[in-house]
Amino acid sequence: MSAEIMLEARNMTRRFGGLYAVDNVSFEVQRGEIFGLIGPNGAGKTTLFNLITGMTPPTHGELVYKGENITAKRPHEIAMRGIARTFQNIRLFGSLSALENVMIARHIHTKSGVIEGVLGLRPAPQEERATRQRALELLDLVGLADSAETKARNFAYGDQRRLEIARALSLEPELLLLDEPAAGMNQSEKSSLSEFIRRIREQFNLTIVLIEHYVPLVMGLCDRIAVLNFGQLIALGAPEKVQNDPAVIEAYLGD
């Protein structure tokens, strides 16, 4: 693994009242790796994603992305720097079609304003065509090209997860955060998910951080794994090492 650091969390802490949802967590994610984030329910995994994407400001700590401090940035500023995410509780634009959902995420790669858009002046028509084309390609990649005009809320749960991934990829991220991508998928979908995630990493040159409960997926897929429990980082390393870590076993099985 090359040593280029993509994302660095330094002493990230988020307190909700008296509860430390994320407590003094530090780690580095290297370019090109698939980094797993696991831990029991309520361990602070999703809060950590929200901290990285600017949706929840940290109580203290620093976030460095490609050498730049992004700690106090707003979500759209983080998106513009190339960090995309999916949501644990699926947040598609429900009443819009699959195609429109993916097209919206081309926002930062297009620039036509109100006048160009309304009057069809350059570069709006060209951008519109390219955006549509790109969105269709991404829908095809996740296997939803046939349902491009279907409203997002009418998809089955597993398909909604795929649509969210297509939408995130449409942003052309360098760092992709996947929040429980296998949740709601059936066994055969789960088993092909690993293959799919590896494929998009190659195809789009991605660095991927994923939260997942489904242990076989995480163990087989991730280069390194961080384990959170009660907001604290209790283990970090290669899957085999983490799997046999006494602290991890205790966190999952209790004493």
Stretch that binds another protein, among 40-48, 126-134, 210-218, 229-237 (CB under 8 A): 126-134
Place of tokens 């994302």: 7
Query: Is residue 29 a contact point for another protein (CB under 8 A)?
Result: no
Other beta carbons less than 10 A from residue 246's beta carbon: 9
Query: Is residue 128 a contact point for another protein (CB under 8 A)?
Result: yes
Q: Which amino acid is at 211?
A: I
Query: Is residue 32 a contact point for another protein (CB under 8 A)?
Result: no
Q: How far is the CB of 147 from another protein (least distance, A)?
A: 9
Query: Is residue 214 a contact point for another protein (CB under 8 A)?
Result: no
Q: Which of 117, 136, 213, 219 touches another protein (CB under 8 A)?
A: 117
Task: State the DSSP string of 19-38.
Answer: EEEEEEEEEEEETT-EEEEE
Q: How far is the CB of 201 from another protein (least distance, A)?
A: 14
Report which of 28, 23, 61 is spatially closest to residue 229, judged by C-alpha positions: 23
Site pattern 172..211 for another protein (x: CB under 8 A): ----------------xx--xx--x---------------
Half-sphere CA count of 186, side-chain side, radius 13 A: 3
Other beta carbons less than 10 A from residue 2's beta carbon: 8
Q: How far is the CB of 253 from another protein (least distance, A)?
A: 32
Q: Which amino acid is at 165?
A: I
Number of residues that bind another protein (CB under 8 A): 53
Q: How far is the CB of 185 from another protein (least distance, A)?
A: 8
Nearer to another protein, 95 or 244 (CB): 95
- Give the separation between CA 181 and CA 158, rounded to whole angstroms: 9
Q: Interaction with another protein in 57-116: which residues (CB under 8 A)?
A: 74-76, 79-80, 84-85, 87, 91-96, 100, 103-105, 107-108, 110, 112-114, 116
Buried b (16+ CB within 10 A) or exposed e, 207-219: bbbbbbebeebbb
Q: How far is the CB of 178 from another protein (least distance, A)?
A: 12
Task: State the DSSP string of 130-199.
Answer: HHHHHHHHHHHHTT-GGGTTSBGGGS-HHHHHHHHHHHHHHT--SEEEEESTTTT--HHHHHHHHHHHHH
3-state helix, strand and coil shares in percent for the chain, rounded to the nearest 5 = 40, 25, 35
Return residues touching another protein (CB under 8 A): 53, 55, 74-76, 79-80, 84-85, 87, 91-96, 100, 103-105, 107-108, 110, 112-114, 116-120, 124, 127-128, 131, 140-144, 146, 149, 158, 162, 165, 167, 170-171, 188-189, 192-193, 196
